[in-house]
Structure 1
Amino acid sequence: MKERNDTVITCGSMSSVSPIPSYSPAAPPLPTPSQFSFSVASTRWSSRPPFQAANLFLRSLTLVFSFGSALSLAAPSPAKTMFRKSPSFYNNTNLLYCFIVNILTFLYAAYQLFKGICDIAHKGVFISDAVSDYTSFIFDQLAGYLLISSTSVAVPVIQQMDHSTSLWKAATVSVCMSFAVFLIIAISALLSGYKFCKRIIW
């Protein structure tokens, strides 16, 4: 009996002394983002630089051509004669309307250009992307409508003017530049409309 107890004690001590293999849990896998969030982020960052570059280029062209159109009406070549004074654009309401529209388009293009530069430099701190998409879509449509309407009312006036006057040359250059601004604004409106639909639908 005593021998059996010694055997039991010995086995118990051996079992207590035997090392127990330590279990170390495996490191948890790194969290992977959702498939949808990854696709949206990659699409946004991959498509944003081309849109910004195209936007800056179109806004710069709009700024230059609208300024040239307004300047050609405001400072025509001084073709004065001894017996009559050269006519001015502010005596005609249609040409004055064309001048005002080009000035407004110039200010709008300057704002868009400044906003685009701030978006690249400060990553959208100046104005949020959602507000920018809404305002760009609305004001591009409005600017395009004003430009085509001012050009359409200025063309009949130019056809009725004396071709030998300096105002006729200035108005012709202004209308040509104004129509070029309309084409550029139309392309900008297509891009802003694409971004607007992408934000709402997709």
Structure 2
Amino acid sequence: MKEDSDVLAIACRPMANVSPVTASSLAHQPFPTPSPFSFSVASTGWSSRPSIHYTNLGLRFSVLLFSFVSAISLAIPSKKKNQPSSFTAYPELMYCFTVHILAFLYTSFQLFKGICDIAHRGFLISDMISDYMSFILDQLVGYLLISASSVAIPVILQIEKATPLWTAAIISNTMSFVTFLVIGICTLLSGYKLCKRIIW
């Protein structure tokens, strides 16, 4: 009986500080399993950026196209028809033309920056500055576009109907409103990216 108790004492001594359950769990799970509610950089980092960037590039290209059509539609009739009264005779249409040119230039810059961001992250501007700048300037361009559309409506009513300038003003104003809708979506996307950066 004395020899059996000594054997049991010697057998239990190596396992005094480590539980058998803990030892077996460590052997089967060498790496801890992350919680599904924990913050994962891989899920919100660069791997998720391309889809957002591609969507942003598609919207920016639409703004570029619509603003170009809106601006060129005002300039073409006076060149082709040699009308004495072109869009330059109306300050409101000149304002619309200037806004469309500014929207075209701004969107060209955003497209170039977006392509550079996909190829080389933060090549031109850092991500934080880019998010703030895009959110603010998108709202500014959107305000200019909707104000240009509003200002052009009374002038269109004053122009003689069925003339090339009247048709061009209608096309330009329609494209201006569509451009405003698309730049509004870009603003929402920029706001989402900014909130994601600040809050999350």
TM over 0.5: yes
Q: What SS does structure 1 have at the residue aligned with 2:145?
A: helix
* Structure 1 residue 160 corresponds to structure 2 residue 161: no
Q: Give the Cα separation in 2 of the matches to 1:31 and 1:130.
A: 34
Aligned match of 1:57: 58
Which moves more between the two structures, 181-190 or 39-48?
39-48
| Cα distance in 2, alignment partners of residues 44 and 86 from structure 1 | 58
Match of 1:173 in 2: 171
Aligned to 1:26: none
1:37–1:112 Cα change, 3 Å: farther
Runs of 4+ in structure 1 over 3 Å off: 34-38, 77-80
What does 1:178-189 align with in structure 2 at a 5 Å threshold? 178-189=176-187
- Residue 131 of structure 1 corresponds to 129
Q: 1:86 to 1:37 in 2, by over 3 A?
A: farther
Question: Where do 5+ consecutive residues of structure 2 fail to align?
Answer: 1-29
Looking at structure 1, the residues matched to 53 and 102 of structure 2 have their Cα atoms a distance apart, in angstroms, of: 22
TM-score normalised by the chain length of structure 2: 0.78
Q: Are 1:147 and 2:148 matched, yes or no?
A: no
1:115-151 C-alpha deviation (Å, 9 max, x unpaired): 0111111122221110110000000000000000000
3-state secondary structure, aligned to 2:40: helix
Q: In structure 2, what is the equivalent of residue 119 of structure 1?
A: 117
Alignment pair present for 1:45 and 2:43:
no
Specify the alignment match of 1:9 in structure 2. none
* 2-structure distance, mates of 1:87, 1:93: 12
- 1:49 CA displacement: 1.2
How many angstroms does 1:191 deviate by?
0.2
Cα 1:46/1:122, change in 2 over 3 Å: closer
Moved more, 92-101 or 123-132: 123-132
Normalised to the residue count of structure 1, the TM-score between the two structures is 0.77
The CA distance in 2 between the partners of 1:151 and 1:31, in whole Å, is 60
Q: How many residues align?
A: 170
Q: Deviations over 1:66-101 (max 9, x none)?
A: 011100111116346xxxx44111111100000000
Distance in 2 separating the partners of 1:119 and 1:31: 35
| Secondary structure of 2:45 counterpart | helix
**How much is the aligned-residue C-alpha RMSD, in angstroms?**
2.3
SS of residue paired to 1:76: helix
What is the Cα deviation at residue 31 of structure 1? 9.3
Aligned residue number for residue 197 of structure 2: 199
Q: 1:47: Cα distance to partner? A: 2.4
